[in-house]
Structure 1
Amino acid sequence: MDGATTDGNSQLGMLAGQVLLPDSKEFDAARAVWNGMISRHPKMIVQCMNAEDVALAVKHAAALDLPVSIRAGGHNVAGHAVCDDGLMIDLTAMRHVSVDPENRIASIEGGALWRDVDSASQAHGLATPGGLISDTGVAGLTLSGGIGWLRAKHGLSIDNLVGADVVIADGTLVHTDATENPELLWALKGGGGNFGVVVRFEFALHPIGPEVMFAAPIYAIEDGPGPIRAWRDFLKQHSDVVGSLCEFSTAGGEDFPEESWGKRVFTLACVYNGDPARGEALLQPLRELGDLVTDFSGRMAYCEVQQLFDTLMPAGDFRCYWKARYLTDLSDEMIDLAMQNALDAPSDNSLSSLWNFGGRTAEIDAAATAFGDRSMGWMYSLDGVWENSEEDARNIEWARRGWKASETHGHQDRIYLNFAGHGEDSDALTQASFGENYQRLVDVKTRYDPQNRFRFNQNIKPQT
């Protein structure tokens, strides 16, 4: 136990892992998270090796009346993994993934990254819906929904969560599935990290790959909205087999023609959720909608697709502020707004995106998961990404202004809680996003975390 002391009331001396205090040499590295804007100072960091360690850490936090933050991938843009003046539970050593190919189930430790899951499951020709960046933590992405390339055929990450082991606020290890503590499993499916520390996830797997069809034609914004409008209409016909987003960015680097460097562009990025040959033929029209800046389309390994966006935002290199909202539909006016917002971005590193829904994602009843209503057609996200603290105000204001301007196109005032800014307006937006499921979530929160020990999230407050 590095730099830590214990007393007669503490069980941390029994840890298989270690405790880091602020004077520990590893402390600053351990408290750092992916977003370079976030710099918080917990009272201690407990680096856990197993579920027993997590239980000890939670009991210790309760004995000291400390709130608890939970680090898995540390990729949340609001930095929920690390807290000021609380106890941070670090799960990064708990990344084991085992696959039962016969029953198509993956058992995943709470600190695993999506690349761990993809690698283990693809060894058997299987996958479960993850995110778009492979160094995202399974826990953070899943617990607030999990929107990825496979959503057209297999839904969100939560739609494939079939069980979990959770250390709740009193330090008890609880299993949840469809028959044992089912209300807790329901709450984990979109309710965020409000209910405890998930030390093991169980996911249903599906036959995917090893090769998939990825389409990524890139067009210049200056050439107009025609390709986006055609893409929108195409996806309305194929939302059951194509997971896609239109991503606005700035061209640059050796992968782009030199004459395009510095241009604002958009990529019609698509993954066909099925046979790659069929997908190649189906997606071909999206590559013929006008003059191309370049085209990154082709059949490739599923694991490669899952890692394509990793290099856009290396951990700790950038300062980030993201906002998103669901859209009822994608009108011409909303497309024009998204294009203008992309042109106005003060940083060439910033991204913004339009995401499609429908397919399997839309088939899930609103009451079936804490995530709630699935009738939104699209999502709009603004991902402010920049390098210097002097540029914080300009870039945050850009994301907020664009998000506010899209309000008239919004769906029931709902937002994707993984992209909720820095949580500065979370109370009202959290309630609006859960809608009719909110009170049921309060009831689950009150049962499993009555003291609100786990409150570094889009917080659901227990009844008092």
Structure 2
Amino acid sequence: MTPTVRDADQTAVEDLRETLRGTLIRPTDEDYDEARGVWNGMIDRHPALIVQCSGTADVIVAVNFAREYDLEIAVRGGGHNVAGTAVCDDGIVIDLSAMRAVWVDPLARIARVQGGALWGDVDHEAQAHGLATPGGIVSHTGVAGLTLGGGIGWLMRKHGLTVDNLLSADMVTADGEFIRASEDEHSELFWALRGGGGNFGIVTSFEFALYPVGPTVLAGPVIWAADDTAAALRFYRDFVQDAPDELGTVVRLGPIPPLSVVPEELHWRPAVAINACYTGPVEEGESVLRPLREHGTPLLDLVSPKRYVAHQSGLDSTVLHGWHYYWKSTDLPELSDDLIEVLVNHAFSTKSPRSYVVLFHLGGAVSRVPGDATAYASRNAPHNININGVWRPDEDFAESETTWARRFFDALEPYREGVYVNFLDVDDDTRRVREAYDEQTYQRLAEIKAEYDPDNVFHLNQNIEPAG
């Protein structure tokens, strides 16, 4: 009979504690509840052990202990995944959140990043040299989760997805082995890591290519009243058709958050915002963004030259840790009039003032990478939509916001073209994981999974089962 952690005598657990350089946390420890919490406050799971690793050696020790006692393994980087896969019930959480170091080589334009780092950590170090690599749009998002699923954000149209700029990854396998994956080492695994999620092992560090960005960019939202949404989206459809790669845009539909830069009389007013980030020369950006800023009668124009790191963290306070999040997402085609009508009809029917919808414009460098170059399989999608039901723990919006998100998602059925695996929520099943990949890509991922994790040890994720 396979032993469990309950069968392990106190000596075994104490031996584990003594072996680690990091911290071992158990349910009786004072900091247990804080340690088991993740970004999405809806997630309430109780692991038997939490290993807060100080380095790769601790990760190896934790994996080996978990295998010996047949423990479920959850892997935590930034803990930001909406599905809450960074924590489990009864098993062991291998927590990399203390491993946040970032080393930048400005001459080689390379950053080496530990597996628990956040994007704010990367941007802070890289921008000291006027450099950046494509990351997300919230600075407290974890590097590991975003990277392994693909990585969409402000810089992707110019420099590709995060995975397109990954040079190598150090990883601990299900057997507790340390390996490096790159184009020259474990190349099939390296292909899988670029879009296949956390299925293949625990990445303890990443190596990224960097590019000159900023440190000043022309960025910010232009905001119109909700009644102008249809007109704004029809304008946007034409505006981005021939947009230069230097321009990244994200549309937000929902109440205006009470940010300090927003006049108080506009707080919580339903609106459509087109948020832009132009990473070329500011003078060029002024010309590129002029049609956007002159369209219709905006409620507010917050486009201005600003530090790239300030723009990267500008939305942080609208998606705080501990709030409750329920997502539905899909890739979308070009914005036809019929599709725009669906967006207008559903976007503003929320009960929670914190719920909203974001629409990412893809294309550019993302679409120019060959479809089989990485495991990320949505190269030809023009847009991605993420429907965000959001409420605070003390608010009674769970039923209304989950119902809203599902109805909205169902209404998009005629337009759905796949899904970004990082946006799959807790109730999305295996069928939706399959939607993130074409059949050939999924089969290749399953075969690589069978080679590196045949027992599906790492299955608390958007799981790809081993072939066979």
Q: TM-score, normalised by structure 1?
A: 0.95
Instruction: Tell me the secondary structure at the aligned position of residue 213 of structure 1.
Output: strand
Aligned residue number for residue 278 of structure 1: 284
Aligned residue number for residue 454 of structure 1: 458
Equivalent-residue separation in structure 2 for 1:334 and 1:18 (angstroms): 51
Aligned residue number for residue 429 of structure 2: 426
Deviations 1:291-321 (A, max 9, x none): 11111110100100100000101111x1100
CA-based RMSD of the aligned residues comes to: 1.6
How far has the Cα of 1:92 moved from its partner? 1.0
Equivalent-residue separation in structure 1 for 2:10 and 2:167 (angstroms): 39
Given residue 109 of structure 1, which amino acid in structure 2 is its aligned partner? Q
Instruction: Tell me the secondary structure at the aligned position of residue 242 of structure 2.
Output: helix
Q: CA contact under 8 A between 1:130 and 1:146: conserved in structure 2? A: yes
Equivalent-residue separation in structure 1 for 2:170 and 2:460 (angstroms): 20
Instruction: Tell me the secondary structure at the aligned position of residue 238 of structure 1.
Output: coil
Q: How does 1:47-446 map to 2 (within 5 A)?
A: 47-251=52-256, 253=258, 255-316=261-322, 318-387=323-392, 388=394, 390-411=396-417, 414-422=418-426, 424-435=427-438, 436-446=440-450
How far has the Cα of 1:8 moved from its partner? 9.4
Q: CA contact under 8 A between 2:51 and 2:92: conserved in structure 1? A: yes
Q: CA contact under 8 A between 1:12 and 1:56: conserved in structure 2? A: no
**CA 1:12–1:448 in 2, change beyond 3 Å: closer, same or farther?**
farther
Instruction: Tell me the secondary structure at the aligned position of residue 145 of structure 2.
Output: helix
Given residue 113 of structure 1, which amino acid in structure 2 is its aligned partner? L
Aligned residue number for residue 5 of structure 2: none
Query: Which stretch shifts more, 242-251 or 90-99?
Result: 242-251
How far has the Cα of 1:390 moved from its partner? 3.4
Q: CA contact under 8 A between 2:237 and 2:334: conserved in structure 1? A: no
Structure 1 unmatched ranges of 5 or more: none
How far has the Cα of 1:290 moved from its partner? 1.1
How far has the Cα of 1:52 moved from its partner? 0.3
Instruction: Tell me the secondary structure at the aligned position of residue 436 of structure 2.
Output: helix
Q: TM-score, normalised by structure 2?
A: 0.95
How far has the Cα of 1:416 moved from its partner? 1.2
Instruction: Tell me the secondary structure at the aligned position of residue 100 of structure 2.
Output: coil
Instruction: Tell me the secondary structure at the aligned position of residue 311 of structure 2.
Output: helix
How far has the Cα of 1:432 moved from its partner? 2.3
Instruction: Tell me the secondary structure at the aligned position of residue 237 of structure 1.
Output: coil
Q: CA contact under 8 A between 1:325 and 1:380: conserved in structure 2? A: yes
**CA 1:282–1:393 in 2, change beyond 3 Å: closer, same or farther?**
same
Structure 2 unmatched ranges of 5 or more: 1-8
Aligned residue number for residue 19 of structure 1: 24
The number of equivalent residue pairs is 457
Q: CA contact under 8 A between 2:257 and 2:318: conserved in structure 1? A: no
How far has the Cα of 1:221 moved from its partner? 1.2
| Aligned sequence identity (%) | 43
How far has the Cα of 1:239 moved from its partner? 5.0
Deviations 1:93-131 (A, max 9, x none): 100000111111100000000000001101111100010
Equivalent-residue separation in structure 2 for 1:355 and 1:75 (angstroms): 19
How far has the Cα of 1:7 moved from its partner? 2.4
Equivalent-residue separation in structure 1 for 2:442 and 2:136 (angstroms): 25
Match of 2:50 among 45, 48, 55: 45
How far has the Cα of 1:261 moved from its partner? 3.8
Deviations 1:112-151 (A, max 9, x none): 0000000110111110001000001000111111110001
How far has the Cα of 1:224 moved from its partner? 4.3
**CA 1:390–1:41 in 2, change beyond 3 Å: closer, same or farther?**
same
Equivalent-residue separation in structure 1 for 2:353 and 2:76 (angstroms): 29
Equivalent-residue separation in structure 2 for 1:91 and 1:43 (angstroms): 17
Q: CA contact under 8 A between 2:77 and 2:145: conserved in structure 1? A: yes
Equivalent-residue separation in structure 1 for 2:378 and 2:151 (angstroms): 15
Given residue 461 of structure 2, which amino acid in structure 1 is its aligned partner? N
Equivalent-residue separation in structure 1 for 2:54 and 2:208 (angstroms): 21
Deviations 1:322-353 (A, max 9, x none): 11100122112212211222211121101102
Q: CA contact under 8 A between 2:347 and 2:356: conserved in structure 1? A: yes
